[in-house]
Amino acid sequence: MDRHEEKTHSVKQVVLPSGKTIEVVLFDEAPYVAPAQPDQDLSICLGCESRLVYPVEWEEAGPEHWNVLLHCPNCDGLREGVFSQDAVENFDEQLDRGADALARDYKRLMRSNMSDEIDRFAGALAADAIVPEDF
Question: Is the four-CA dihedral 19, 22, 26, 30 of positive or negative sign?
Answer: negative
Residue 6 pLDDT greater than 60, yes or no: no
Whether residue 5 is contained in a domain is answered as no
Q: How many domains does the chain have?
A: 1
Determine the structural domain holding residue 42 and report its residue range: 10-129
Whether residue 1 is contained in a domain is answered as no
Distance CA 92, CA 94 (A): 5
Whole-number pLDDT of residue 3: 38
Mean per-residue pLDDT, 18-37: 66
Distance CA 89, CA 23 (A): 19
Closest CA to 44 of 101, 106, 99, 90: 90
Cα of 39 vs its chain's centroid, Å: 22
Whether residue 125 is contained in a domain is answered as yes
Q: Which one-letter amino acid corresponds to residue 135?
A: F
Task: Grade residue 73 by pLDDT with cuts at 50, 70 and 90.
Answer: very high
Distance CA 23, CA 113 (A): 27
Whether residue 4 is contained in a domain is answered as no
Whether residue 2 is contained in a domain is answered as no
Whole-number pLDDT of residue 1: 34
Distance CA 66, CA 17 (A): 9
Angle at the Cα of 56 from the Cα atoms of 55 and 59, rounded to 5 degrees: 85
The 10s digit of each residue's pLDDT in 30-45 is 444 555 566 678 999 9
Whether residue 134 is contained in a domain is answered as no
Whether residue 100 is contained in a domain is answered as yes
Whether residue 110 is contained in a domain is answered as yes
